[in-house]
Amino acid sequence: MENYIVSARKYRPSTFESVVGQEALTTTLKNAITTQKLAHAYLFCGPRGVGKTTCARIFAKTINCMHLSADGEACNECESCVAFNEQRSYNIHELDAASNNSVDDIRQLVEQVRIPPQIGQYKVYIIDEVHMLSTSAFNAFLKTLEEPPHHAIFILATTEKHKILPTILSRCQIYDFSRITVEDTVNHLNYVASKEEIKVEQEALNVIALKSDGGMRDALSIFDQVVSFTGGNITYQSVIENLNVLDYEYYFRLTDSFLENKVTDALLLFNDILNKGFDGNHFITGLSSHFRDLLVSKDVSTLSLLEVGSSIRQRYQVQSQKCELPFLYRAMKLCNDCDMSYRVSKNKRLLVELTLIQVAQLTEGDDDEAHGRGPKQILKPVFHSPSGAQQPKVVNNTTTATSHAVIPHAVIPQAATQQVTTQQAVTPQVVQPSSSLGATSPTAMPQAILRAQSKPEKKVPLMKSSSIGLSIKQLKNGDQERKTASTAQAMHSQQTATQEDQLFNENDLNYYWREYASQLPLEQRAVAMRMQNIKVVKLDDVACGIVVDNELTAKDFTTALPEIQSYLRNRLKNSKLTITVRISEANEIIRPFGKVEKFQMMAQKNHDLMTLKEEFGLEFY
């Protein structure tokens, strides 16, 4: 029985051409070898499993190759290449800094550097995980790294560049390796599958590539795991089952429920997901990613950002056309807020369910936050009463019908007026024509009934008994007069509504207060910093106030208040908003935030500081 070799080792690249996803770096290294412009120290850094150590080995082998090809690749036939491939080369040394990180290990390495190579031109030292070296070891390595012998080349590899001393970084050529894209990973997995004669589905390989998070070694390890699970026939269903990945289908069905305001369906789907063993945090992050994918699918120019298979891509394009942009923006905001609050929440399931309810209610279209701020987390009624309970009552009472029918120029006694007002306040009633209204024209009666139901409650003006009367001419012109009066009243109501000031809360007030501060120019940076750290308190419906700690700051804000008030009135749509500035009382504790505030508080305690500032002309920077 042959010894099994994992795919990550079996298909490890041996030439620059076979390295996946790092074309820019491999081209640079090949050109450096071809033109004989080799540095004495290189630093390869980047995420795990992207080819840092592999490229270091290929680079070391190619440097000592005696018969380079025309494209700068090693020949794999000369003595140096054969010795390297058989792992018996004395010119290439690898050191694991994770287990050899002491000063003595570096001193032994420095002593070996002095010995010239027996075969080839260079001795190459590959130090993996170099960030694990101790500070003493780094310092012992500095001089040799800066001025090594002409035959020595150092290649350092690390996943955490920020842990390396700046003095080491300044002595190296730094190559940053990037994460491997989903497309490149899928292509390489297809190549491995064809070599191993394994049947695969493209959607399954996409899931593996997304799970690997840009690391080819992780992708090949997952590939081997799935092959063992499926027995050589990799399907999409088997991959999501083996890797415990949520199916795309759940997110598509959830989005359809959101668009149709079906809160109960969304909650049942979430319960099904939890019953299958998935974590709520994993679910909510996946839902955020789904909304993000729908957003990039709406525009052809951003479609390249969608990293899924062709069949799933088509479904994203279809569903994205059903989703409005404001819905996607606010849904992503709600899911992101839930994700940030998930870790500290005591009742995690309730947190996710509340988020699902809020997202499902976004498409009801009765809030006006499509522009500007994020959605308010307001829950609306989820379960409604049966439609039969909301049917209006039909009243055949002659007195009620008479009271709701509005006859122009007719006189209604005061007692009848009070009865009309009382009945309208209790319940909306559907009035049927009665024989007692014989004086009213047939066309005027339905319109009078509709107007009585749709208009807001109004009191009928009382008239003197001497003016009671009814003429046929007035009845004929009554319909036209009612239409004219109704139109004029509607225009007046609309004009009044547009001029009415909107209410606002303290959160919105402080949001736009900080927004104004962020737009101030650089020369007003001090005022902007003070505004960012001051909370505006709402005193009543239109009056607001801020508290400062000294007179100088109060004077600055008083000067700037007209512009601030104008901005806030415009943003909050309230023309009566006012802001007052108050200096804190002696017993109030106001914490200074900036250098100016701290100096002013110190100067109040010691007036000599102000004298010192004026004598020397000191300024704050």
Helix (H) or strand (E) holding 313: helix 310-320
Both structure tokens of 428? 């909306």
Q: Which domains, and CATH codes, for the chain?
A: 7-176 (3.40.50.300), 182-242 (1.10.8.60), 248-364 (1.20.272.10), 412-431+441-455+471-483 (no CATH), 506-616 (3.30.300.180)
181-201 average pLDDT score:
89
CA dist., res. 255 & res. 473, Å (int) = 61
Looking at residue 377, its pLDDT comes to 53
pLDDT class for 154, splitting at 50, 70, 90?
A: very high
Model pLDDT for residues 566-615, shown as the tens digit of each residue: 998 888 888 888 889 888 876 665 555 567 767 777 887 888 888 888 88
Q: How confident is the model at residue 365 (pLDDT cuts 50, 70, 90)?
A: low
**CA dist 288 → 354, 412, 468, 531 (Å):** 15, 63, 70, 33
Asked whether the beta carbons of 620 and 599 are under 8 A apart, the reply is yes
What are the b/e assignments for 607-617, b being 16+ CB within 10 Å?
A: eeeeeeeeeee
The answer on pLDDT for 314 being more than 90 is no
* Statement: residue 156 has pLDDT above 60: yes
pLDDT at 559 over 70: yes
pLDDT digits (tens, 9 = 90+) for 109-126: 888 888 888 777 888 999
Q: Which residues pair with 394 in a beta bridge?
A: 430
| pLDDT at site 587 | 64
The Cβ-side half-sphere exposure at 20, using a 13 Å CA radius, reads 26
The average pLDDT across 362-373 equals 54
- Three-state SS across 199-231? EECHHHHHHHHHHHCCCHHHHHHHHHHHHHHHC
- Predicted confidence (pLDDT) at residue 100 exceeds the cutoff of 80: yes
Contact yes or no for 83/61 (Cβ under 8 A) = no
Residue 499 is predicted with a pLDDT of 53
SS3 42: strand
Averaged pLDDT, 153-158: 93
pLDDT the model gives residue 415: 40
Q: What span, in angstroms and rounded, lies between the C-alpha atoms of 208 and 200?
A: 11
8 Å CB contact between 568 and 535: no
Give percent above pLDDT 90 in the chain: 18
DSSP β-bridge partners for residue 543: 578
pLDDT at residue number 594 = 60
pLDDT single digits (tens) 246-295: 888 889 999 999 999 889 999 999 999 998 888 899 899 999 999 999 99
Question: What does pLDDT average to over the chain?
Answer: 77
User: Measured at the alpha carbon of residue 84, what is the angle toward residues 83 and 87, in degrees to the nearest 5?
Assistant: 90
At residue 601, the pLDDT reads 74
Q: What is the Cα 349 distance to its own chain's centre?
A: 21
